[in-house]
Amino acid sequence: MNGIHDMGGLTCFGPVVREVDEPVFHDGWERRVFAVSMLSGSALGPVDVFRHAIERMDPQHYLATTYYEHWLAGIERLAAERHLADAAPAARTLQAEQLDAIVARGVSAARDSDDFRPRYAVGDAVVAKNLNPRGHTRLPRYVRGRRGEIAAVRGNHVFPDTAAHLAGEHPQPLYSVRFSARELWGPDAPAGDSLYLDLWESYLEDPAR
Amino acid sequence: MSEPHDGHTHAHDAPPNPYLEKRRNGEETAALEARVKAIEDLVVGKGLVTTAALDRIVDIYEHDVGPLNGARVVARAWTDAAYKARLLADGSAAIAELGYGGLQGEHLVVVENTDTVHNVVVCTLCSCYPWPVLGLPPSWYKDAPYRSRVVIEPRAVLAEFGTELDDDVEVRVWDSSAEMRYMVLPQRPPGTEGMSEAALAGIVTRDAMIGVPRLASP
């Protein structure tokens, strides 16, 4: 969806404001929101689902609230949508002793496949499609319709546009794509500067001849 | 629990930014605490997770995982050319050699700053960040000004961090749009020739590994 979260290229927010000696968390409730959000995935869905829940915040509320308020809004939304309050008790309970191993292992987005046949190779010219899906996507607006070049083939990765809607992982080739700053931002951008995004194959098409 | 919130550093000539003036008064904080307690009680009550497990993950990211991990990776790369080559070729594997990896760093890529290339990392869509090497991101990385501006005017944003780049330096912005996570290998500053690997790790800052400042000589 074309939401307020897709901020790349806006210039209306003023200077970057830094906090000296910023703590990891500012308040006790931030710690708890972080922990609950991180460890409720078994009932509420994987990371793509959580991101999309945040993206569906009212845009004015999104801009007026802090980061962990976004997380709180996301987790509240998912708990309501999944009817967690009416759900049966979980069959398995995540225990403190499991945490270090879970953090060390992580959750890989790569899905190895014997049938991995990326359409593009390093150096190929590509165009980011002009797609405007109403659901979750990781194709930022600022790159749509722009021409770039494959900088690396990253592997076969879970496709967030379907995973966020619990419609399957549908892994596909993921590429690092280089765009020149001028292609994205016009002739006033420095000639040599560039920007790299990781884009899935179905976001890309061949340039027009 | 009640850290001071008055450490904001505004540019002197900049107006207050309404989007960043989000501090909560006592009543608003109490309302947030009540909402958070309700959701925590729900997930614990449904048996998804124990309170002790919630405590443990907070403890890991508040105390165990932070930018010192990344600093050690950088110091190793500065002192071991073979390690640096492995690091740039396969970030995840080389970082795992030092014992780091996992959540929000399953697919790590390290990009090198040089005399002619300056890399800087962002996530315009949310807040993706290489947790195993840098810990949780600072607020400025997650807030609207950095996320929106560093892709379109990276040199202006870098200048706010005191980084003035010559025109012939290529700026490369890495927008973390997938599950790849990026860390910048800063340039080793002059004047550090005789320093040990451990001492070098002590001069590497979090912000330099995001790519916003260059490291100064110690």
pLDDT (mean) for B62-67:
96
For the stretch A15-27, pLDDT in tens is 999 988 899 998 9
CA–CA gap between residue A201 and residue B217 (Å, rounded): 43
Q: What is the pLDDT of residue B22?
A: 62
CATH number of B5-210: 3.90.330.10
Asked, for residue A15, whether it belongs to a domain, the answer is no
pLDDT of residue B197: 98
If asked whether residues A79 and A151 sit together in one domain, one would say: no
Report the number of distinct structural domains present in chain A: 2
Here the ipTM equals 0.98
Active-site residue, B127 included: yes
Beta bridge partners of A177: A150, A197
Q: Cβ contacts (< 8 Å) between A33 and chain B: which residues?
A: 36, 39
What average pLDDT is seen over chain B? 91
Query: Using CB atoms within 10 A of its CB, is residue A63 exposed (0-12), middle (13-18) or buried (19+)?
Result: middle
Residue A91: domain span: 28-105
Instruction: Pick the closest to residue B133 from B161, B157, B109 (CA basis).
Output: B109
Are B211 and B121 contacting, i.e. CB atoms less than 8 angstroms apart? Answer: yes
A88 plus A131 within the same structural domain:
no
**B2 belongs to the catalytic site:** no
Q: Which of A56, A77, A105 is the last residue of a domain?
A: A105
* Residue A132 sits in the same domain as residue A101: no
Kindly state whether residues A85 and A150 are assigned to the same domain.
Answer: no
Task: Check: CB of residue A93 under 8 Å from CB of residue B48.
Answer: yes
Q: In CATH, what number is assigned to the domain containing residue A168?
A: 2.30.30.50
Residue contact A16–B143, C-beta within 8 A: yes
Structure-token pair, residue A54: 């945040």
Phi, psi angles (nearest 5°) of residue B42: -65, -50
Partner residue facing B144 (CB), from A7, A24, A25: A7
Q: Which chain B residues have a beta carbon less than 8 Å from that of A49? A: none
Is residue B172 helix, strand or coil? strand
B141: pLDDT strictly greater than 60: yes
* Domain boundaries, given as residue ranges, for chain B: 5-210
CB contact under 8 A, B172 and A94: no
Please tell me whether residues A84 and A135 are part of one structural domain.
Answer: no
- Whole-model pTM: value is 0.94
Strand runs (DSSP E) across chain A, as ranges?
Answer: 18-19, 125-128, 147-157, 172-180, 194-200, 204-205
Same domain, A34 and A100: yes
* Contacts (Cβ under 8 Å, ≥6 apart) of B112: B88, B119, B184, B185
Cα nearest neighbour of B117 on chain A: A193
Q: Do B124 and A181 touch (CB under 8 A)?
A: no
Domain-located, residue A45: yes
pLDDT at A20: 84
Q: What is the C-alpha to C-alpha distance for residues A91 and B79, in angstroms, rounded to an integer?
A: 50
B128 labelled catalytic = yes
CA distance B189 to chain A (A): 23
Percent of chain A topping pLDDT 70: 100
Rounded to a whole number of angstroms, the distance from the CA of B18 to the nearest CA of chain A is 8
pLDDT tens track for B69-122: 999 999 999 999 999 999 999 999 999 999 999 999 999 999 999 999 999 999
